[in-house]
Structure 1
């Protein structure tokens, strides 16, 4: 069911500082910031040879990333995103296995313009999982 790792997401308290660190200190290529109001975040992607790192900054106090940063003020790993061929069949298979899909269970469009779903971290050893249809 799972394809490759699409990205690893890091919540950051200050996106501009994170971009500066990744570009100046690590010499990384970073995309332009993108607003995703439906998800309550502003994001950039650090492009690597074999995957991406997503840097997330909250859009307002109601953002899920704001809650994460309240518990982890310095930031940290927020989720890992795996690619799937068919997000609906992946969802149905996971729900049948007893896994919880966050939100209303219906895919939303993510930063890449593709359908995504998030799976409850308690079902995956404390790690929030994002599935993205390829």
Structure 2
């Protein structure tokens, strides 16, 4: 059901500082910051030859990652994103198997302009999983 790894997301408090580490220390190419108000984050993608790293910082009050960065002030891995061909079929299959979809269960448009869903970490070895339709 899952396809290739799309990205690994790292939640950070200071997006500029995180970008400087990847750009200046690691020599990576980064996208411009992209506010995602519907998701409560601002993201920057680090482009890699075989995937991406998503740096994301809280955006606005009530950001869903605010408590994560409070518990992890230096940042940390927040989720992994896998590609799927049909997000609704994947959602239905996962729910039938007992996995919980976060939020209202309906896909939202993500930073790549494609439908995404997030799955509860307690159902997937303690890791938040994002599914993105290709």
Q: Return the TM-score normalized by structure 1.
A: 0.99
What number of residue pairs does the alignment pair up?
Answer: 134
Whole-angstrom CA distance in 2 between matches of 1:97 and 1:10: 28
- Structure 1 runs (4+) greater than 3 angstroms displaced: none
Gapped regions of structure 1 (runs ≥ 5): none
1:45-124 to structure 2, matched below 5 A, reads: 45-124=45-124
- 1:61-104 CA distance string (max 9 Å, x none): 31011111111111100000000000000000000001000000
Note the residue ranges of structure 2 that are not aligned, 5 or more in a row: none
Query: Hey, what's the Cα distance between the residues in 2 that align with 1:67 and 1:116?
Result: 21
1:21 corresponds to which residue? 21
Using the alignment, how far apart are the partners of 2:120 and 2:113 within structure 1? 22
1:112-131 Cα deviation digits (max 9, x unpaired): 00000000000001000000
What is the root-mean-square deviation of aligned Cα atoms in Å?
Answer: 0.6
